[in-house]
Amino acid sequence: MKMVRLRKSSARPQTLEGEIAIVTGANSGIGAVTAKEFAWRGAKVVLAARRVNELEAQAKAITEAGYCAVAIPTDVTDLTQIRQLTERTTELFGRVDVLVNNAGIAWRESYMDNTIEQIEQIINVNLLSTILLTHVVLPGMLERHHGSLIFVASVAAHIAVDPLYCATKSGVRGFALSLRRELANTGVSVSVVSPGFVHTPMNSHMRMPMPGPEPVARAIADLATHPRREVVVPGFYRPIIEGERLFPSIADRLIWRLRPHVIAPTQSPKPADLPIRSK
């Protein structure tokens, strides 16, 4: 039996037994490890992303380890496909209890080096799809007075470095924090997780020490049982965020120096490399 890397059951935290969770961007990086973490905690997990082989391989690894996972190939920028994702999940499992809005892209050239198509693509994937998928999933949660919406923003929502990525992540954070207030006392929780640099395919080109995606995945799974306004992972970014807020002109100078190391071509496919969407 092929084993998926899951933690020892003696250390199992609060259970997600019987919960139905959708994780977007689940064939890679943070999303793939989050799907495993949810499955290991007892949830039935629906993995969504575009690259079908990678998605099915992740779901297979989870099921072969004795847990419950299904792959539903989805382009989150396609409204028809996100409706189908929700409908298919409901057909299979009866409902959606947890939605992890994790799918995201980054390419970090200077703002004016992006085409209009690239600008639209990053806004659609990182921000608009998150708002639309939440709109599709939320009515069922409200009806049952039970649900957990988890948004993967970024430290980039606090510390301004590259304009397009920061715009989308600030948008995700602002949307989620406002929605949290709007949904107070409905039984549906809203939490934000803001990762700092994490070693995933998104930034594997960066030559700087970074933790892997596991602490972020654990933080996301914890939020499904213990919702919080926002969690920053790793925690050492919290004083850095505070430094940006208190001393913005020092941050201006530091970031100006660091920018060439952070702003660089990334692994995320650009629109020209993307598969054609089904309509």
Q: Residue 130, interface with ligand NAP (CB under 6 A)? A: no
Q: Residue 51, interface with ligand NAP (CB under 6 A)? A: yes
Q: Per this entry, what is the length of the chain?
A: 279
Is the four-CA dihedral 256, 260, 261, 265 of positive or negative sign?
positive
User: Letter for the amino acid at 264?
Assistant: A
Q: Residue 151, interface with ligand NAP (CB under 6 A)? A: no
Q: Residue 89, interface with ligand NAP (CB under 6 A)? A: no
Residues 202-231 that bind ligand NAP (CB under 6 A): 202-203
Is residue 165 flagged as an active site residue?
yes
Contact (CB, 8 A) for 188 and 149? yes
Cβ contacts of residue 164 below 8 Å, gap of 6+?
111, 114, 119, 122, 123
Q: Which is nearer to ligand NAP, 20 or 23 (CB)?
A: 23
- Binding-site member from 140, 147, 171, 195 for ligand NAP (CB under 6 A): 195
Cβ contacts of residue 135 below 8 Å, gap of 6+?
none
How far is it, in rounded angstroms, from Cα 224 to Cα 81? 24
Min separation Cβ 237 and ligand NAP, Å: 10
67, 111, 165, 237: the active-site residue: 165
- Binding-site member from 201, 239, 248, 265 for ligand NAP (CB under 6 A): 201
Contact (CB, 8 A) for 96 and 143? no
- Which residues of the chain form contacts with ligand NAP (CB under 6 A)? 24-25, 27-31, 49-51, 74-77, 102-106, 125, 152, 154, 195, 197-198, 200-203, 268
Q: Which residues are catalytic?
A: 165
